[in-house]
Amino acid sequence: MIIEIIFISLFVILIALGIVLVNVFDHYGDDAGPLACWVGGAISGFIAFVCGIICIVHSNPAYAQSVGYAYQEKVNKLKNEKAVLESYHLLTEDNGKTTFTSDITFEKLETKDYYKKVENYNDKVYDFKVELKTWQFNYTNPWISWFISPACFSVSDETLESLTYTTGK
Protein backbone atom coordinates (compact mmCIF):
# COMPACT_ATOMS: atom_id res chain seq x y z
CA MET A 1 0.00 0.00 0.00
CA ILE A 2 2.77 2.40 0.89
CA ILE A 3 4.50 1.80 -2.44
CA GLU A 4 1.25 2.55 -4.27
CA ILE A 5 0.82 5.82 -2.33
CA ILE A 6 4.41 6.84 -3.08
CA PHE A 7 3.99 6.35 -6.83
CA ILE A 8 0.62 8.12 -6.92
CA SER A 9 2.11 11.04 -4.96
CA LEU A 10 5.13 11.14 -7.25
CA PHE A 11 2.84 11.14 -10.28
CA VAL A 12 0.77 14.06 -8.96
CA ILE A 13 3.80 16.08 -7.85
CA LEU A 14 5.72 15.67 -11.13
CA ILE A 15 2.74 16.45 -13.35
CA ALA A 16 1.85 19.49 -11.21
CA LEU A 17 5.48 20.66 -11.28
CA GLY A 18 5.54 20.36 -15.08
CA ILE A 19 2.34 22.42 -15.35
CA VAL A 20 3.71 25.04 -12.96
CA LEU A 21 6.97 25.28 -14.91
CA VAL A 22 5.10 25.87 -18.16
CA ASN A 23 2.34 28.21 -16.93
CA VAL A 24 4.01 30.19 -14.15
CA PHE A 25 7.66 30.32 -15.16
CA ASP A 26 7.09 30.31 -18.94
CA HIS A 27 9.27 27.27 -19.60
CA TYR A 28 8.12 25.79 -22.89
CA GLY A 29 9.61 23.37 -25.38
CA ASP A 30 13.07 24.97 -25.24
CA ASP A 31 13.65 23.76 -21.66
CA ALA A 32 13.98 20.13 -20.60
CA GLY A 33 12.49 20.79 -17.12
CA PRO A 34 8.78 20.41 -17.95
CA LEU A 35 9.47 17.48 -20.28
CA ALA A 36 11.46 15.68 -17.58
CA CYS A 37 8.64 16.28 -15.09
CA TRP A 38 6.02 14.92 -17.48
CA VAL A 39 8.10 11.88 -18.47
CA GLY A 40 8.83 11.13 -14.81
CA GLY A 41 5.16 11.65 -13.99
CA ALA A 42 4.10 9.33 -16.81
CA ILE A 43 6.51 6.63 -15.65
CA SER A 44 5.41 6.86 -12.02
CA GLY A 45 1.76 6.95 -13.14
CA PHE A 46 2.28 3.80 -15.20
CA ILE A 47 3.95 2.06 -12.23
CA ALA A 48 1.09 3.17 -9.94
CA PHE A 49 -1.41 1.84 -12.50
CA VAL A 50 0.31 -1.57 -12.71
CA CYS A 51 0.62 -1.76 -8.92
CA GLY A 52 -3.07 -0.89 -8.63
CA ILE A 53 -4.06 -3.71 -10.98
CA ILE A 54 -1.95 -6.18 -8.99
CA CYS A 55 -3.57 -4.97 -5.75
CA ILE A 56 -7.07 -5.34 -7.23
CA VAL A 57 -6.38 -8.86 -8.47
CA HIS A 58 -4.92 -10.06 -5.15
CA SER A 59 -7.74 -8.45 -3.14
CA ASN A 60 -10.43 -10.07 -5.30
CA PRO A 61 -12.31 -12.66 -3.18
CA ALA A 62 -12.63 -15.08 -6.10
CA TYR A 63 -8.87 -15.00 -6.68
CA ALA A 64 -8.21 -15.51 -2.95
CA GLN A 65 -10.57 -18.49 -2.89
CA SER A 66 -8.94 -20.11 -5.91
CA VAL A 67 -5.45 -19.64 -4.45
CA GLY A 68 -6.68 -21.03 -1.12
CA TYR A 69 -8.16 -24.01 -2.94
CA ALA A 70 -4.84 -24.60 -4.71
CA TYR A 71 -3.04 -24.57 -1.35
CA GLN A 72 -5.54 -27.06 0.11
CA GLU A 73 -5.14 -29.35 -2.90
CA LYS A 74 -1.36 -29.22 -2.52
CA VAL A 75 -1.78 -30.19 1.15
CA ASN A 76 -4.05 -33.09 0.14
CA LYS A 77 -1.53 -34.24 -2.46
CA LEU A 78 1.27 -34.16 0.11
CA LYS A 79 -0.89 -36.04 2.64
CA ASN A 80 -1.58 -38.75 0.06
CA GLU A 81 2.12 -39.03 -0.70
CA LYS A 82 2.82 -39.29 3.04
CA ALA A 83 0.23 -42.07 3.34
CA VAL A 84 2.03 -44.01 0.63
CA LEU A 85 5.34 -43.54 2.45
CA GLU A 86 3.76 -44.71 5.71
CA SER A 87 2.49 -47.85 3.99
CA TYR A 88 6.04 -49.12 3.40
CA HIS A 89 7.33 -51.77 5.77
CA LEU A 90 10.50 -53.82 6.03
CA LEU A 91 10.75 -57.01 4.05
CA THR A 92 13.78 -59.31 4.07
CA GLU A 93 14.25 -61.45 1.01
CA ASP A 94 16.24 -64.66 0.60
CA ASN A 95 19.35 -62.96 -0.74
CA GLY A 96 19.85 -61.13 2.56
CA LYS A 97 19.13 -57.67 1.21
CA THR A 98 16.75 -55.56 3.21
CA THR A 99 13.98 -54.04 1.14
CA PHE A 100 10.81 -52.10 1.76
CA THR A 101 7.47 -52.90 0.25
CA SER A 102 4.26 -50.90 0.15
CA ASP A 103 0.80 -52.20 0.93
CA ILE A 104 -0.68 -49.59 -1.41
CA THR A 105 1.59 -49.64 -4.46
CA PHE A 106 3.12 -53.13 -3.96
CA GLU A 107 6.41 -51.58 -4.99
CA LYS A 108 9.65 -52.99 -3.62
CA LEU A 109 12.46 -50.59 -2.83
CA GLU A 110 15.93 -51.07 -1.47
CA THR A 111 16.68 -49.26 1.76
CA LYS A 112 18.64 -46.44 0.14
CA ASP A 113 15.88 -45.86 -2.45
CA TYR A 114 13.24 -45.72 0.27
CA TYR A 115 15.20 -43.16 2.27
CA LYS A 116 15.82 -41.15 -0.90
CA LYS A 117 12.06 -41.16 -1.53
CA VAL A 118 11.44 -39.93 2.03
CA GLU A 119 14.09 -37.25 1.59
CA ASN A 120 12.53 -36.05 -1.69
CA TYR A 121 9.11 -35.91 -0.04
CA ASN A 122 10.43 -33.89 2.91
CA ASP A 123 12.17 -31.52 0.49
CA LYS A 124 8.82 -30.89 -1.23
CA VAL A 125 7.17 -30.28 2.15
CA TYR A 126 9.99 -27.94 3.18
CA ASP A 127 9.68 -25.90 -0.04
CA PHE A 128 5.90 -25.65 0.41
CA LYS A 129 6.28 -24.55 4.05
CA VAL A 130 8.85 -21.90 3.15
CA GLU A 131 6.70 -20.60 0.29
CA LEU A 132 3.59 -20.37 2.43
CA LYS A 133 5.30 -18.83 5.46
CA THR A 134 7.04 -16.29 3.21
CA TRP A 135 3.67 -15.18 1.85
CA GLN A 136 2.26 -15.01 5.37
CA PHE A 137 5.16 -12.88 6.64
CA ASN A 138 4.96 -10.64 3.57
CA TYR A 139 1.23 -10.16 4.16
CA THR A 140 2.04 -8.47 7.48
CA ASN A 141 4.52 -6.08 5.82
CA PRO A 142 2.78 -2.73 5.22
CA TRP A 143 5.00 -1.98 2.23
CA ILE A 144 3.83 -4.93 0.17
CA SER A 145 0.76 -6.34 1.93
CA TRP A 146 -1.63 -5.25 -0.82
CA PHE A 147 0.30 -7.35 -3.32
CA ILE A 148 -0.25 -10.55 -1.30
CA SER A 149 -3.40 -12.65 -1.35
CA PRO A 150 -4.96 -13.41 2.05
CA ALA A 151 -5.29 -17.01 0.87
CA CYS A 152 -1.85 -17.69 2.31
CA PHE A 153 -3.58 -18.12 5.68
CA SER A 154 -5.84 -20.92 4.40
CA VAL A 155 -3.37 -23.55 5.66
CA SER A 156 -2.76 -23.67 9.41
CA ASP A 157 0.60 -24.18 11.07
CA GLU A 158 -0.63 -27.47 12.57
CA THR A 159 -1.43 -28.77 9.10
CA LEU A 160 2.01 -27.76 7.87
CA GLU A 161 3.67 -29.56 10.79
CA SER A 162 1.65 -32.71 10.20
CA LEU A 163 3.03 -33.04 6.67
CA THR A 164 6.63 -33.81 7.63
CA TYR A 165 7.43 -37.53 7.59
CA THR A 166 10.10 -39.21 9.61
CA THR A 167 10.81 -42.88 9.24
CA GLY A 168 9.49 -44.93 12.11
CA LYS A 169 6.34 -42.87 12.63
Which pLDDT band holds residue 95 (cuts at 50, 70, 90)?
Answer: low
Are 116 and 76 within one domain? Answer: yes
This prediction has a pTM of 0.72
Count of domains observed in the chain:
2
Burial pattern 80-103, b for ≥16 Cβ within 10 A else e, equals ebbeebeebeeeeeeeeeebbbbe
Structural domain span for residue 54: 2-59
Are 108 and 126 within one domain? Answer: yes
Which helix (H) or strand (E) segment holds residue 90: the answer is: strand 88-92
Does residue 81 belong to any structural domain of this protein?
A: yes
Are 50 and 78 within one domain? Answer: no
Are 117 and 83 within one domain? Answer: yes
Domain-terminating residue out of 13, 29, 59: 59
- Summarised one tens digit per residue, pLDDT across range 98-148 is 777 888 888 888 888 888 999 999 999 999 999 999 999 998 888 888 888
What local confidence, expressed as pLDDT, does residue 111 receive?
Answer: 80
Ranges of H-type helices in the chain: 2-23, 32-59, 61-86, 111-139, 157-163
